């Protein structure tokens, strides 16, 4: 059975594939360093890596956190955390297996200096998570997260000006349609645009202090490796993983490994203002 990118993370094969990708390619490490820098961790005592997976973002946080700081990496997939525990050893880091929505049950109320969430916030119950973040942040504490451009409805200027070439995703769709009669995937609409983000932040009592659209350069070789992770394999429905990989290989053969595409990200920094009771 194929897995999906919402519920398929608690699986040893997926966890191993994801961890290997994160170690081999810069996508998650680069975005983690960017978010950690925006969180302003210099004087932090307690930091949460939300939806922390195998620890790529926790590693970036630990590189900037003070020696006496505590870091909680919270994720709902124990399989991902088992990989992280084997590969990331730091006495400042604690692993908590729990959904993001339950954050307030595992961190001190108004005792957290920063909450950082890389590449995952749109997979959660956003309103519930923002409320939980508000409950744990200290006054002045920062909430830093990013949203994939397709989910946020944003495109970086570099992606607009670059010469258009077929993406692996579009090539996969063409092959699936030709060989399996699969109808084209419907055009996706933004699930979490900035207007929705600001509304959820305001409802939770958090203030938007920074928004930015960033770009990441991604090679076809990196995209192929990413699409080989079971939860990201395409087409999403009706195909075995073996079929998905066969289609991916055929699509990849029509590209060059060093061809570069641009992926866009909406980066958001919010803050809890004022004194709390």
Domain harbouring 125, CATH code: 3.40.50.150
| 41: three-class secondary structure by DSSP | coil
Residue 194 is assigned to a structural domain of this protein: yes
From CA 21, how far away is CA 11, in angstroms rounded?
15
Residue 30 is assigned to a structural domain of this protein: yes
Is the full-model pTM beyond 0.75? yes
Please count the structural domains in the chain.
1
Residue 84 is assigned to a structural domain of this protein: yes
**Starting from the edge strand earliest in sequence, which strands make up the sheet with 207-219, in order?**
93-97, 70-75, 46-50, 112-117, 137-148, 260-271, 207-219
Residue 25 is assigned to a structural domain of this protein: yes
Q: Which residue is listed with tokens 């200290």?
A: 138
Residue 248 is assigned to a structural domain of this protein: no
Q: Which residue is listed with tokens 């995209």?
A: 223
Cβ neighbours, 10 Å, residue 28: 22
Residue 247 is assigned to a structural domain of this protein: no
Q: Token pair for residue 229? A: 């992770």
From CA 31, how far away is CA 51, in angstroms rounded?
14
From CA 257, how far away is CA 236, in angstroms rounded?
23
What pLDDT digit, counting tens, does each position of 219-246 carry?
A: 999 999 999 999 999 998 889 999 999 9
First to last CA, the chain: 49
- Residue 6 confidence (pLDDT): 64
Q: Which residue is listed with tokens 């400042």?
A: 92
Count Cβ neighbours within 10 Å for each residue of 154-181 and write b for 16 or more, e otherwise. bebeebeeeeeeeebeebbbbbbeeeee
Determine the structural domain holding residue 100 and report its residue range.
12-156+188-217+262-272
What pLDDT digit, counting tens, does each position of 38-57 carry?
A: 999 999 999 999 999 999 99
Residue 93 is assigned to a structural domain of this protein: yes
Per-residue pLDDT tens digits of the chain, which is 277 residues long: 344 556 789 999 999 999 999 999 999 999 999 999 999 999 999 999 999 999 999 999 999 999 999 999 999 999 999 999 999 999 999 999 999 999 999 999 999 999 999 999 999 999 999 999 999 999 999 999 999 999 999 999 988 876 667 889 999 999 999 999 998 777 667 889 999 999 999 999 999 999 999 999 999 999 999 999 999 999 988 899 999 999 999 999 999 999 998 999 999 999 999 754 3
Residue 234 is assigned to a structural domain of this protein: no
């Amino acid at each position: 059975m194929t897995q999906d990118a919402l519920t398929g993370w608690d699986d040893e094969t997926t966890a191993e594939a994801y961890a290997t990708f994160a170690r081999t390619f810069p996508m998650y490490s680069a975005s983690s360093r960017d978010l950690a820098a925006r969180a302003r961790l210099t004087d932090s005592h307690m930091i949460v890596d939300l939806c922390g997976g195998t620890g790529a973002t926790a590693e970036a946080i630990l590189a900037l956190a003070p020696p006496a700081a505590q870091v909680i990496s919270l994720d709902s997939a124990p399989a991902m955390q088992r990989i992280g525990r084997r590969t990331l050893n730091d006495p400042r880091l604690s692993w908590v297996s729990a959904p993001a929505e339950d954050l307030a049950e595992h961190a001190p109320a108004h005792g957290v200096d920063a909450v950082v969430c890389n590449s995952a916030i749109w997979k959660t119950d956003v309103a519930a998570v923002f409320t939980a973040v508000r409950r744990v942040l200290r006054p002045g504490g920062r909430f830093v997260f990013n949203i994939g451009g397709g989910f946020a409805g944003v495109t970086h200027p570099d992606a607009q000006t670059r010469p258009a070439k077929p993406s692996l995703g579009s090539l996969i769709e063409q092959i699936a349609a030709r060989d399996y009669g699969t109808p084209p995937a419907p055009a996706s609409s933004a699930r979490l645009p900035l207007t929705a983000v600001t509304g959820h932040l305001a409802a939770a009592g958090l203030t938007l202090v920074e928004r930015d659209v960033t770009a990441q350069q991604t090679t076809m070789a990196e995209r192929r490796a990413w699409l080989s992770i079971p939860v990201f394999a395409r087409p999403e429905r009706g195909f075995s993983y073996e079929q998905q990989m066969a289609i991916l290989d055929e699509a990849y053969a029509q590209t060059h490994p060093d061809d570069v595409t641009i992926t866009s990200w909406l980066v958001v920094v919010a803050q809890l203002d004022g004194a709390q009771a």
